[in-house]
């Protein structure tokens, strides 16, 4: 027998338009995140933002109240770390988006529940009241033990022991989450955006070349 309260809860949960999802990785991420976000949130897949260097499209935008929080799911074949950092800087500099989260595809596959909890750690208002209780049964001991080291960093790293089938540690795995916020005036993205402000209309590739010359001159 279907629990009527559970059915009502599911109907109230915000849902992303499945027709706008562009990869299995996006489906994996948003399907899990949807379960836990506040009914006050809205989800906009493939959201476009105009910047000084043209228009860019975010995998997901979630809004709650006056906050706009974006998510990027970086599949290996599309990931260019330097380009992505510039892209984030331009988007944050537009003033339209408050925060951008980036997750690597391999981390979403291996540590999905920990990835979701890291979002909660920073932006609790996105989530419903049930999630903090449920999450304690889902997240890893490694995350619980290392969470206190996290605070307003652009790069967040959780380390995991890689264990072989016979129970021996054979290496170290890492979950890497990038989080950039428009109010973080000490974040590295500000340096990149200042270059873009001085050179409006240039493509990211051109801005990268300018930054490379600056860095070479500093050596």
Q: What is the pLDDT, as a whole number, of residue 7? A: 47
Q: What is the pLDDT, as a whole number, of residue 19? A: 79
Q: What is the pLDDT, as a whole number, of residue 77? A: 56
Q: What is the pLDDT, as a whole number, of residue 162? A: 86
Q: What is the pLDDT, as a whole number, of residue 9? A: 44
Out of 98-107, 121-130, 137-146, 168-177, which region has the weakest mean confidence (pLDDT)?
A: 168-177
Backbone angles phi, psi at 66, to 5 degrees: -100, 10
Cβ-count burial of 166 within 10 angstroms (0-12 exposed, 13-18 middle, 19+ buried)?
A: exposed
pLDDT tens, position by position, 25-55:
999 999 999 999 999 999 999 999 999 999 9
What is the mean pLDDT of the segment spanning 147-171? 82
The enclosing H or E element of 212 equals: helix 204-218
Q: What is the pLDDT, as a whole number, of residue 197? A: 95
Would you kindly state where each structural domain of the chain is located, as residue ranges?
4-218
Q: What is the pLDDT, as a whole number, of residue 80? A: 75
For all residues of the chain together, what is the average pLDDT? 88
Q: Please state, in angstroms and rounded to a whole number, the distance separating the CA atoms of residues 171 and 65.
A: 43
**Listed residue (93, 98, 116, 71) closest to 195, CA to CA:** 93
Q: Name every residue whose Cβ is closer than 8 Å to that of residue 137 and which is 6 or more positions away in sequence.
A: none
pLDDT tens, position by position, 53-107:
999 999 999 999 999 999 999 876 555 778 999 999 999 999 999 999 999 999 9
Contact indicator for 158, 175 with CB cutoff of 8 Å: yes
Please tell me which residue, 153 or 188, carries the higher pLDDT value.
188
Distance of CA 50 to the CA centre of its chain: 19
Q: What is the pLDDT, as a whole number, of residue 169? A: 82
Q: Model pTM?
A: 0.89
Pairing of strands 99-104, 54-64: unpaired
Token pair, residue 115, equals 């990835």
Backbone angles phi, psi at 195, to 5 degrees: -65, -40
Token pair, residue 197, equals 């402000």
Q: Please state, in angstroms and rounded to a whole number, the distance separating the CA atoms of residues 151 and 153.
A: 6
pLDDT tens, position by position, 193-212:
999 999 988 999 999 999 99
Q: Name every residue whose Cβ is closer than 8 Å to that of residue 174 and which is 6 or more positions away in sequence.
A: 157, 158, 159, 160
Backbone angles phi, psi at 106, to 5 degrees: -65, -30
Percent of the chain with pLDDT over 70: 91
Q: Please state, in angstroms and rounded to a whole number, the distance separating the CA atoms of residues 62 and 64.
A: 7
Work out whether the CA dihedral 141, 136, 155, 58 comes out positive or negative.
positive
């Amino acid at each position: 027998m279907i629990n009527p309260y559970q059915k009502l809860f599911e109907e109230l949960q915000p849902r992303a338009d499945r027709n706008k999802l562009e990869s299995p990785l996006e489906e994996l991420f948003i399907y899990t995140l949807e379960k836990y976000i506040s009914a006050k949130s809205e989800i906009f897949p493939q959201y476009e933002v105009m910047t000084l260097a043209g228009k860019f499209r975010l995998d997901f935008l979630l809004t709650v109240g006056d906050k706009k929080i974006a998510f990027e799911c970086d599949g290996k074949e599309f990931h260019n770390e330097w380009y992505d950092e510039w892209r984030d800087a331009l988007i944050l500099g537009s003033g339209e988006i408050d925060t951008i989260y980036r997750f690597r595809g391999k981390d979403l596959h291996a540590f999905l529940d920990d990835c979701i909890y890291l979002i909660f750690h920073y932006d609790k208002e996105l989530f419903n009241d049930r999630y903090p209780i449920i999450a304690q049964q889902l997240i890893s001991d490694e995350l619980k033990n290392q969470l206190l080291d996290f605070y307003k960093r652009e790069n967040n790293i959780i380390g995991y022991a890689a264990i072989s089938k016979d129970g021996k540690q054979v290496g170290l795995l890492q979950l890497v989450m990038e989080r950039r916020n428009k109010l973080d005036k000490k974040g590295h993205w500000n340096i990149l955006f200042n270059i873009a402000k001085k050179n409006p209309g240039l493509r990211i590739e051109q801005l990268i070349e300018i930054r490379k010359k600056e860095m070479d001159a500093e050596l």
